[in-house]
């Protein structure tokens, strides 16, 4: 997809990465001209009623906050006699609305390995989720309506005790703007912000992954379990009588330490781990195989005429000549150019595929990892 030159306010991608990414906010007026949103409120409410969709409902009444998890019923989105204002948050809109995936592709100047998902928030006038900060970068793109954003680079990130949301206890806004349809605000991690709906309002959040060091280390150790092959077994032919039978002896500790020290890993292990870890679907994500899969012959004819695209839920990355799709290494030799194209663009236009590639593509189609047509 050609870059929308207005997306970053006329500055180049290189300039954005050098001067703004993880450094300072950027406000862009009319970042996407004529943008009014990707989904109507009624359709969003219907989506939030699906048990497979991650949706949250935030209500504020006075100084109190209430958080509920979906699925929801139609009555949950009516104010009725209540004076409470509310906000509906729906994650992974790109999985359900094709235009959502196309929107995310406009941000491909950030590596796919960092991209998380597209979230949409709907708020009644006065609605919001309170002043807070995120641990990741985010682009806040305004759809319908208007939202007032207050931001602060404050160091005090103390959270309100007892609140069901991560709400800042002492928020001190330093800058403020009202964003209308097509306007966009970029915020680096840990930048305090508060968005308040001025009218019926929908905001689209392009969020990025920033896993904690603890999570990475824990998952890497889980990955290493399947790769470890250590020889030997504990033995103590020179065992000496201990004064205290319950004491763990120094000789045992020394031998165990030597065993553990045999665990080794290198850059290739880390790269393979990241390929699998970063493409692994989230636990709640599922794939929909075709209800009536066509035969291999018909599939081959269709993709060579219509092309193909990855399913919205699929994640595909590569390192060197190793390709990963949905947590698995792609065992496919001699097809790097096409695999790289599929990973980068998430689609391949109509063309002739060789038999090896077609066989792999058909297996992905049957599993629901990709679909016919671009």
CATH number for 183: 2.60.120.650
| SS3 sequence of 250-285 | HHHHHHHHHHHCCCCCCHHHHHHHHHHHHHCCCCCC
Give the model confidence (pLDDT) of 316-327 as tens digits: 999 999 999 999
Residue 345 lies in domain:
296-372
Q: Is residue 2 part of a domain?
A: no
Give the model confidence (pLDDT) of 199-212 as tens digits: 999 999 999 999 99
Check pLDDT > 80 for residue 5. no
Lowest mean per-residue pLDDT among 37-41, 73-77, 97-101, 315-319:
73-77
Do residues 233 and 121 both lie within one domain? no
The count of other CB atoms within 10 Å of the CB of residue 213 is 7
CB 138 within 8 Å of CB 192: no
CB 146 within 8 Å of CB 200: no
Report the predicted TM-score, pTM, of the whole model to 2 decimal places.
0.92
CA distance 224 to 81: 57
Q: Is residue 307 part of a domain?
A: yes
Q: Is residue 285 part of a domain?
A: no
- DSSP letter assigned to residue 345: H
Do residues 173 and 69 both lie within one domain? yes
Do residues 45 and 126 both lie within one domain? yes
Check pLDDT > 90 for residue 332. no
Last residue of a domain, one of 208, 236, 256: 208
Give the model confidence (pLDDT) of 211-261 as tens digits: 999 999 999 999 999 899 999 999 999 999 999 999 999 999 999 999 999
Do residues 241 and 324 both lie within one domain? no
CA distance 95 to 101: 7
Do residues 202 and 222 both lie within one domain? no
Which band of pLDDT confidence, cut at 50, 70 and 90, is reported for residue 79?
A: low
Do residues 195 and 246 both lie within one domain? no
Token output for 362? 């058909």
Residue 59 DSSP SS3? strand
Q: Could you give the number of structural domains in the chain? A: 3
Classify residue 236 as exposed, middle or buried by CB count within 10 Å of its CB (0-12, 13-18, 19+): exposed
Do residues 108 and 34 both lie within one domain? yes
Q: Is residue 7 part of a domain?
A: no
């Amino acid at each position: 997809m050609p870059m929308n030159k207005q997306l970053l306010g006329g500055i180049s991608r290189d300039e954005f990465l050098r001067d703004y990414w993880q450094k300072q906010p950027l406000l862009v007026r009319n970042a996407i001209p004529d943008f009014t949103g990707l989904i109507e409120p009624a359709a969003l409410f219907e989506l939030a009623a699906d048990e497979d969709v991650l949706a949250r409902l935030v209500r504020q009444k006075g100084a109190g906050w209430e958080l509920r998890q979906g699925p929801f019923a139609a009555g949950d989105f009516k104010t009725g006699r209540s004076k409470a204002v509310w906000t509906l948050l729906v994650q992974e809109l790109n999985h359900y609305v094709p235009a959502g995936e196309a929107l995310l592709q406009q941000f491909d100047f950030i590596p796919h390995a960092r991209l998380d998902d597209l979230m949409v928030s709907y708020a009644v006038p006065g609605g919001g989720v309170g002043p807070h900060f995120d641990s990741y970068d985010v682009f806040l793109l305004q759809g319908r309506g208007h939202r007032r954003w207050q931001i602060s680079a404050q160091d005090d990130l103390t959270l309100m005790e007892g609140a069901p949301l991560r709400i800042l206890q002492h928020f001190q806004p330093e800058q403020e703007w009202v964003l209308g349809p097509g306007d966009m605000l970029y915020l680096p991690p840990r930048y305090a912000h508060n968005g308040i709906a001025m009218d019926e309002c929908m905001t689209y959040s392009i969020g990025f992954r920033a896993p904690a060091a603890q999570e990475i280390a824990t998952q890497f150790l889980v990955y290493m379990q399947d790769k470890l092959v250590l020889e030997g077994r504990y033995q103590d032919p020179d065992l000496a009588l201990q004064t205290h039978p319950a004491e763990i002896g120094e000789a045992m500790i020394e031998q165990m330490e030597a065993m553990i020290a045999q665990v080794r890993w290198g850059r290739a292990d880390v790269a393979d781990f990241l390929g699998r870890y970063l493409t692994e679907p989230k636990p709640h994500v599922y794939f929909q195989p075709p209800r009536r899969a066509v035969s291999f012959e018909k599939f081959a004819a269709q993709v060579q005429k219509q092309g193909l695209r990855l399913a919205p839920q699929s994640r595909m990355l590569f390192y060197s000549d190793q390709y990963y799709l949905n947590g698995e290494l792609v065992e496919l030799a001699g097809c790097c150019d096409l695999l790289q194209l599929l990973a980068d663009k998430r689609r391949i236009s109509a063309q002739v595929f060789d038999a090896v590639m077609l066989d792999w593509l058909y297996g992905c189609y049957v599993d629901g990892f990709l679909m016919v047509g671009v």
